[in-house]
Amino acid sequence: MEKLLLIDDEPDILRVLSMSLKADGYDVVSAPNGTEGIVAFEKEKPDIVITDIKMPGMDGIEVLKKIKDLNVDTEVIIITGHGDIENAIEALKHGASDFINKPVRDEALSIALRRAREKFDIRQQLKEYTTDLERKVDEATREVRRRSNFQINLIRSSNDGIVATDKNLKIVIYNPIARQIFGYTPAETINKMQAGDLFPAELAADLQAALRGENNIKNLAWRETTIASKDGDNIPVRFSGTILQESERPVGTVAFFQDLREIKRLEKELLKSERLAAIGQTVAGLAHGIKNILHGLKGGSYLVDIGINKNESDKLKKGWDMIKRNIGRTSNLVMDLLSYSKEREPEFEACLPNQIADDVCTLVHDQARENNVKLVKDFDDSIGEVLMDPNSVHEVLLNLMSNAVDACLFDEDTSKNFRVVLKTIHEKDNIIQFEISDNGLGMDKAVAKKLFTSFFSTKGHRGTGLGLMVTRKLIEEHKGTINVNSKPGKGTTFIVRMPYKLSET
């Protein structure tokens, strides 16, 4: 039942109105003056108060003010004397919701009460709605803040240097790794510097172009470059960038930087240690090779001495042959060493790779025929004139082809029909693949692993152990690759991929 407070100093009116309102279904609390009315209000907390305006002591206006102070949502209906406009206006000013004239008619009272109730309900709804809205805004704000904190943390703790700018290329985000790379403090950069002040000119220009939407580029792919730090050091970095967009409109840029100093240092160290190891192996291998040659020369001179002293022409001839063979071995060793130690840039010139491959086949033809090895040429006709270093290609193919013939020669399984195949394939991206395969001896994994790295020969005294090192060096200088597949007893395939340049004509 709905509660309302009725305040009037005239007991008759109070009684009559109470009865009437109770009959209408209200739970009526009545008070004979303002002061008691306020006490009752505080105790009963009615939503609606009806008060007479003219009362001794605390009058209706005072009651109204007090009640509004206590609970602003309360609907206060003022009962005024007939024609008391001034007081009615005063009451409205202080937040009265309605007023009715004396004598109070039931109809007017119930209309006023209904309106008061509606107003009260609407206000409650509005209040609930507002509170709900505020709570939702609060939740959303917290969520946004949480996400934003998360993103700030993400940027802060990234291993990449991150520098973001607004659409005028003014720096707005600059994380700790960026600080490590560039050396400037965030205070020196954020809102102070332009991308062009911090980045190399070409990077800034690329970002600017991307911001303008030139060529429809939104992402700048990773590339290596060098930036100048605050201290003037040139720091190698990897860079990538992207354009930030909102509703398809560019609003800024982000650039990512990876510090390559450590990687570069490690690369250099690795290279150095590899080179030292190679030199160590070279010296050890070389010493072994030279000792064998010297031994052969001593043996040769010994036989020649005997031949001369005892006048034995057979010994003389054998000794002399031995000396000549070992001179030949010396020359092979020196030539291999020279081409291994010599740094050289490939000299690109127009040539026909298939023609070179054919020449090499001709060169190893005799060696192959003597050892019952069949040579098979399988050339890709789509390979025309290209720009490569014909000398490198020639030496690489010659080394690998004579190795392949040797692999057959060393194979004891003479029931095999030995075969060496030289295949050329025109790959995409301007690469020629040379495939040299034999069905000879083959190698186990341990041998295959050592192939290119050490002064390693399986050919006993026949090899210098340098051939494949030289081969690999030539291929790498030509920016190519070499791979080997081998199975013991089944044979070996070397795959060489060498890029060519397009002929300018």
Residues in contact with another protein by the rule CB under 8 A? 287-289, 291-292, 294-300, 302-303, 306, 315, 318, 322, 325-326, 410, 458-461
Q: CA angle at residue 203 from 201 to 204, to 5 degrees?
A: 65
- Shortest separation between residue 175's beta carbon and another protein, angstroms: 53
Residue whose CB is less far from another protein, 65 or 318: 318
Structure tokens at 129: 């709605």
Residue whose CB is less far from another protein, 321 or 349: 321
- Shortest separation between residue 492's beta carbon and another protein, angstroms: 16
Q: Which residues neighbour 160 within 8 Å (Cβ) at sequence distance 6 or greater?
A: 177, 256, 257, 258
Residue whose CB is less far from another protein, 56 or 460: 460
Q: Map 224-292 to HEC letters.
A: EEEEECCCCCEEEEEEEEEEEEECCEEEEEEEEEEECHHHHHHHHHHHHHHHHHHHHHHHHHHHHHHHH
Residue whose CB is less far from another protein, 186 or 299: 299
Question: In DSSP terms, which residues pair with 234 in a beta bridge?
Answer: 228
Residues 313 and 303: their CA atoms lie apart, in Å, by: 10
Residue whose CB is less far from another protein, 410 or 452: 410
Q: Using the 8-state DSSP alphabet, how is residue 215 labeled?
A: G
Alpha carbons within 13 A on the beta-carbon side of 44: 23
State the amino acid at position 405 in one-letter form. Answer: V
Q: Map 91-114 to HEC letters.
A: HHHCCCCEEEECCCCHHHHHHHHH
Q: CA angle at residue 504 from 502 to 505, to 5 degrees?
A: 120
- Shortest separation between residue 461's beta carbon and another protein, angstroms: 4
- Shortest separation between residue 323's beta carbon and another protein, angstroms: 9
Residue whose CB is less far from another protein, 389 or 438: 438
- Shortest separation between residue 398's beta carbon and another protein, angstroms: 23
- Shortest separation between residue 303's beta carbon and another protein, angstroms: 6
Q: Are 135 and 127 in contact (CB under 8 A)?
A: no
- Shortest separation between residue 291's beta carbon and another protein, angstroms: 4
Find the helix packing angle between 390-409 and 353-370, rounded to 10°.
Answer: 30
Residue identified by tokens 């190399």 is: 200
Residue whose CB is less far from another protein, 195 or 322: 322
In this structure, the number of other CB atoms found within 10 A of the CB of residue 250 comes to 15
Q: Are 3 and 22 in contact (CB under 8 A)?
A: no
Residues 124 and 132: their CA atoms lie apart, in Å, by: 12
Residue whose CB is less far from another protein, 298 or 374: 298
- Shortest separation between residue 417's beta carbon and another protein, angstroms: 23
Alpha helices in 390-481 (DSSP H): 390-409, 445-450, 467-477
- Shortest separation between residue 318's beta carbon and another protein, angstroms: 6
- Shortest separation between residue 399's beta carbon and another protein, angstroms: 20
Q: Are 7 and 30 in contact (CB under 8 A)?
A: yes
Q: What backbone phi and psi angles, to 5 degrees, belong to 444? A: -85, 175
- Shortest separation between residue 310's beta carbon and another protein, angstroms: 9
Residues 195 and 162: their CA atoms lie apart, in Å, by: 12
Element (H, E) at 376: strand 374-378
Residue whose CB is less far from another protein, 199 or 455: 455
Residue whose CB is less far from another protein, 158 or 458: 458
Q: Which residues neighbour 263 within 8 Å (Cβ) at sequence distance 6 or greater?
A: none
Cis-peptide into 56, omega within 30 deg: no
Residue whose CB is less far from another protein, 49 or 303: 303
- Shortest separation between residue 298's beta carbon and another protein, angstroms: 5
Residue whose CB is less far from another protein, 315 or 426: 315
